[in-house]
Structure 1
Amino acid sequence: MSTPPPPESPSDGLPTASTVELLASTDVGGGLETPRKINWRVAIAITLGGMLWIAPYIGTLSVLLPSLVARVAPDDKVQIVAVLTISGAVLSLVTNIILGALSDATRTRIGPRAPWIIGGAAVGAVALYLLSTATAVSMLILWWCVYMVGLNAIIAPMVAVISDDVPAKHRGTVSAMYGVGMLIGATGAVIVAAQFVADPSAGLRIFAVCTALSAVVFVAFRPLTSNVNADRVKVSFKELARTFRPPTTGARDFYFALSGKFALVAGTYAITNYQFYILTDYIKLGESEISTIIAIGGGITLVTGLVFGLVSGSLSDRLGRRKPFVIGAAVLVAIGTMFPLIAPFGWAMLVAATFSGIGNGAYQAVDQALNVDVLPNPESAAKDLGILNVANSGGQILGPVVMSTLVTITGGYQAGFVAAGLLVIISAFLIMLIRSVR
């Protein structure tokens, strides 16, 4: 699921005309004029790049990592998955913001974003390969944490490209393409990972290659424009420390968007991270049945997510509205979490996958556009988007903590389903409170 700030928007979270014009016409990474029409090379670059970085992450986190942990430390698997998720998320919390700010300040002949994406992909690919060889819990934690650092070096700069290169009026469409790429990557990865339940190390090696390809594809499609002549930004420990300073002026809606994302991610990851164990320990399925359920569920999520993602992104731009799509998506995801609670059977997981596919398809298509729309300051876009991504990291910390704690206390997953559903409903309420975006 990361510069000293110039003057911020003077209103209470409401973008001024000059702010909208700046977002539509300038490159915050290099100060270059941006075309007012969609640059399809940029759209394709972030769509395919996003697909290729998220596939290894979701496939590993939801299927291969729990399977590997169950082999390395079967007696403590629930707690170890929580430790892995929390440690990786804490690293993401820090590195996404720092790397986003460094990306904003980078001046090279291939622009501010590409060097970080290339380096992050290389580190992430090597870390996933080494994770596949781990036979001790300490090695699992080490290589997972290294992978998360590399992954965030891809994510923070790549998301900022939407603010850099995409005019405001087209952000819903490009965000939808990015979201659809993410959806294809995430659900396709789950289907692929399901084929390696009995041999998670082989699946991890395949995902290592995908991670490397995310940078190759991004660089191949996005025009690499030099920004060496752009104004220099001093990079020092003091300045890096300032990147953790959240926006304070005109940032009301920024924080509602952050809180809403946090709650939704927490509710989603409470279940996603334990899908494998839910199927083995709660629904009592064998490995072959698990592979089938995960693969079919992934296919359902992919189809429904694609359809509703494409429709939602386009409608969001045409109607000039973001909130109804994000709120409706959260409600659908919440409904989906209730089916396994009511019926602990394989088919209930497939029904949940259907609701999740529809909800997450609409959410992924519009959420990134909503995030960009509530940024208080376009010239610190990567840094502020990195702060918004704290919601991803924080949610990935809270979700597994909630589920593992409730499983430990109650001895089952039922209370965890209820908690997950409540968190997602809270996210919908928080998004409703945003004023500056319709």
Structure 2
Amino acid sequence: MDKSQLAIEDESKNKFPYRLGFGLLFCLLGWLIPYLGVNSTLLPAKIQQIAPDQKVQIVALLATIAMIVATIANIIEGALSDLTVSRWGKRNPWIVLGMITTLICFFFLTKVKTITGIIVNWSLFQIALNSMVAPIVAFIADKAPKKYRGSISAFYGVGMNIGAPVGTMIASQYITKINSGIYVFMILEVIFTILGLILVGDGSNKGDKVKKLKGSELLEAFIFPIHGDVRDFYLAVFGKLLFVSAQYVITGYQLYIFVDYMNLSSANATHNLSIMSIILLITGVFFAILGGPLADKFHSLKLLVAVSTVVMGIGAVIPAIEPLPWTMFAYAALSGSAMGMYNSVDQALNVSVLPSSENSAKDLGIVNLANSLGQVFGPIVASIIIAESGYKFIFPIAGIMCLFGAILILMIKKVH
């Protein structure tokens, strides 16, 4: 190979991988917008229609079952994608399978009319969803050059901060037309996921050699990591779990907070949910765009994640001041800023603390399982507090969870 060809190759390696970034963004939006829109708003609305007197307890029960199913599914499906060799790559088959099966679950959700039916459907949905979640985040470890890891992580962060408010904004328009809202989310899922996979361009890996696993190696491929530098890995896992759980202590019951804690009508609750979502969207995207490049420039991941967690905690306490909508808007402004910065660098931090590159999807899936678990653990904590003490006390509890999460992140040694 002559010098000119080498120069061309070096130049291509130094180019920022925009296709990967936008592909990751759209793949993430493909599952996140539909999931959060349904989970945070349309599903509670459907439960309220079927069993209004037991809605808080049912949301908590549903969250508990979903947490158990998601934990098992995420680990197994992430590990299987690490071991997949096919003409379509090792991640694409699982993402496409997950997309198809989540769409089937969404369709049947429009048909169920009992709480039992909802529980069974949502459990199957968690299995399908995690077939997408773990392989998608593994694209960062698979394809992102180390020098651009923070900025590529920022694309993921932008997606995280678009997903929640946009999902809620769309869902809030369909609280009285739940099935129509679910159909809208199904269409968005197909469009975003397919577009993202085309941009990432994860082609055939049929030439890859996957080592045959036997005995303890086989077991380790499907369990939480126990070898290598696992201390920092688990600090990242539990720090993230506390951050996300604190967020969903509030957002998991945001519809009920406006209706029951603030005594607003359904129409006013819908209006205020939309305002809150716009605030989350603007602040979240702004700080997500800012975070990744700052991390790459100053080589600081741990501090940005820890500070973001503290800011989230401060925002979470504000609605305890008084049961008026402005307190939720203030929470949205601070938590949106925190989530934007956090999500923009969080994936880069996660990749940096992986114990092994050979199990990247499985191990990243475990770290990001904190997202799924937090989304169900938060409402469980909130439901217990609401039942015992009322809505007001969920806010300081969320703040305390963030404080402990920040401490865990600061204890990480491997990353600056």
Q: For this structure pair, what is the TM-score category when the shorter chain's length is used for normalisation?
A: over 0.9
Q: One-letter code of the match for 2:320?
A: L
**What displacement does 1:39 show?**
2.4
Q: One-letter code of the match for 2:28?
A: G
Q: Does the C-alpha gap of structure 1 residues 327 and 139 become closer, same or farther in structure 2, counting only changes over 3 Å?
A: same
Q: Which residue of structure 2 aligns with residue 215 of structure 1? A: 193
Q: For 1:25-424, what aligned pairs fall within 5 Å after superposition?
A: 35=13, 37-234=15-212, 239=218, 242-410=221-389, 412-424=390-402
SS of equivalent to 1:228:
coil
Q: One-letter code of the match for 1:91?
A: V
Q: Does the C-alpha gap of structure 1 residues 35 and 96 become closer, same or farther in structure 2, counting only changes over 3 Å?
A: farther
Structure 1: any 5+ residue segments left out of the alignment?
1-33
RMSD of the TM alignment (CA)?
A: 1.7
Q: One-letter code of the match for 1:128?
A: F
**What displacement does 1:320 show?**
0.5
CA distance in structure 1 between the partners assigned to 2:212 and 2:292 by the alignment: 38
Q: One-letter code of the match for 1:135?
A: K
CA distance in structure 2 between the partners assigned to 1:36 and 1:138 by the alignment: 54
CA distance in structure 2 between the partners assigned to 1:104 and 1:242 by the alignment: 9
CA distance in structure 1 between the partners assigned to 2:200 and 2:287 by the alignment: 27
Q: One-letter code of the match for 1:326?
A: V
**What displacement does 1:96 show?**
0.8
SS of equivalent to 1:376:
coil
For the 8 Å contact 2:291–2:341, the answer to whether it is kept is yes
For the 8 Å contact 1:68–1:201, the answer to whether it is kept is no
Q: One-letter code of the match for 2:203?
A: T
More helix by share: 2
For the 8 Å contact 1:336–1:351, the answer to whether it is kept is yes
Number of residue pairs matched by the alignment: 404
For the 8 Å contact 2:240–2:371, the answer to whether it is kept is yes
CA distance in structure 2 between the partners assigned to 1:351 and 1:66 by the alignment: 24
Q: Does the C-alpha gap of structure 1 residues 363 and 130 become closer, same or farther in structure 2, counting only changes over 3 Å?
A: same
**What displacement does 1:354 show?**
0.5
For the 8 Å contact 2:25–2:158, the answer to whether it is kept is yes
Q: Which residue of structure 2 aligns with residue 12 of structure 1? A: none
SS of equivalent to 2:138:
helix
SS of equivalent to 1:87:
helix
Structure 2: any 5+ residue segments left out of the alignment?
1-11
For the 8 Å contact 2:29–2:193, the answer to whether it is kept is no
List per-residue Cα deviations over 1:162-189 (Å, max 9, x = no partner): 0000011111101101110221122111
TM-score normalised over the length of structure 2:
0.93
For the 8 Å contact 1:283–1:346, the answer to whether it is kept is yes
Identical residues among aligned pairs (%): 37
CA distance in structure 2 between the partners assigned to 1:45 and 1:361 by the alignment: 19
CA distance in structure 2 between the partners assigned to 1:192 and 1:318 by the alignment: 36
For the 8 Å contact 1:98–1:240, the answer to whether it is kept is no
